[in-house]
Amino acid sequence: MRNRISILKYFFLAVWSIIVVGVPLWMVIINSLKPLREANKLELKLPEQWSFSENYIKTMVEGEYFKSFLNTLLVTVVSVVLILVIGSLAAWVFARAKSKTVSVFYYISIAGVLVPPAIITSIKLLKEYNIHGTYIGLIVFYISYLLAFSIFFTTGFVKTIPIELEEAAKIDGSTQLGLFFRIVFPLLKVSLIKTAILLVLIIWSDFYYAFYILGGGTEMGATLNMSLYTFASSYMFQTNWNLIFSGVVLASLPLLVFYIIGQRQIVSGIMSGATKG
């Protein structure tokens, strides 16, 4: 009986996974390999005529693929690293302080977890600071908004670390900053990995903020998603599905590769302490 149920369950899961994950991915990949007329029929058949190199070379060249990729990588890595370091410094302060004033600042800092950034006035501020339309401006914006998540997750985590560890180091006469990087930061590993995964997913996938902070132009090569949007929009009038889909494949590839390499850590990282905080 139990066996039969479990066979039924996995049969359902297999069919379901094919429908919800397999079919959409297959559709994108297979139609990105067809010439225009065939791809526009939007069928799941194998190509009668393969058009791999034509589609992908055109997409890579016109969409300035490598430039987009490197820009996205740079923005994501710099933002995530800075958010984790600056955020956990602040989280350490907030977790250990007992003063009321400090906890007011804690709540101000984590507001971004709940309320959205104000895009129009943020653009105005970035213009005042002379960094609107630049990658530095975009990175600063991400940090300002997403620090909330890093502080929120990490503060809860620091509270679970026994304070005695820090007091022992204090007697050694270490400075606060030294104490933080020698003792506290390494202990945050689990929490930092989880936060980093979520931040990478958010920043890498972002289109809205990147598009308007980098100038709202239709400039190719700015980030992967902006290039995909600009590229696809220019082909949407004639709906060249083969090129739109090869754009989708190329834009999605880096994160898929990243996932295949680190799949185990990513899945368990998200589950670790998911119910805390």
Partner 1 sequence: MRLFRSFGRRNYYLAAPALIIILGIFTLANILNFYYAFTDWSIYKDEVSFVGLENFYVLTEAGHIWPDLITTIKYAISYMIAVNIYSLFIALLLEKKSRINNFFRALLFIPILLSPIATGYIFKGILSSKGVLNNIINVFTNSDISIQWLGSVTFTLFIVSLVQAWRASGIAVLIYIAGLSTIPEELIEAAKVEGANYWQIVKNIKIPLIGPSTTINICFNLIGALNVYAFIVAMTNGGPGRATEVLNIFVIKSFSSGRLGYATAGSLILFLVVAVFAFILIPILRKREVEL
Among 121, 162, 164, 237, binds partner 1 (CB under 8 A): 121
Q: Considering only residues 167-196, where is the footprint of partner 1 by CB under 8 A?
A: 175-177, 180
162 binds partner 1 (CB under 8 A): no
Q: Which stretch binds partner 1 (CB under 8 A): 59-67, 92-100, 157-165, 185-193?
A: 92-100
Could you tell me if 135 and 75 are in contact, meaning their C-beta atoms sit under 8 angstroms apart?
yes
Contacts of 151 (CB under 8 A, 6+ apart): 87, 90, 91, 94, 106, 109, 110
Other beta carbons within 10 angstroms of residue 243's beta carbon come to 25
Q: How many residues bind partner 1 (CB under 8 A)?
A: 90
- Smaller CB separation from partner 1, 55 or 109: 109
Q: Considering only residues 203-222, where is the footprint of partner 1 by CB under 8 A?
A: 204-208, 212, 216
10 binds partner 1 (CB under 8 A): yes
How does DSSP assign 8-19, residue by residue?
HHHHHHHHHHII
Residue for token pair 């202990």: 187
Minimum distance from residue 57 beta carbon to partner 1 (Å): 20
- Smaller CB separation from partner 1, 49 or 251: 251
Among 51, 59, 68, 122, binds partner 1 (CB under 8 A): 122
In this structure, is the dihedral angle defined by the CA atoms of residues 185, 188, 189 and 192, taken in order, positive or negative?
Answer: negative
Other beta carbons within 10 angstroms of residue 77's beta carbon come to 13
- Smaller CB separation from partner 1, 20 or 57: 20
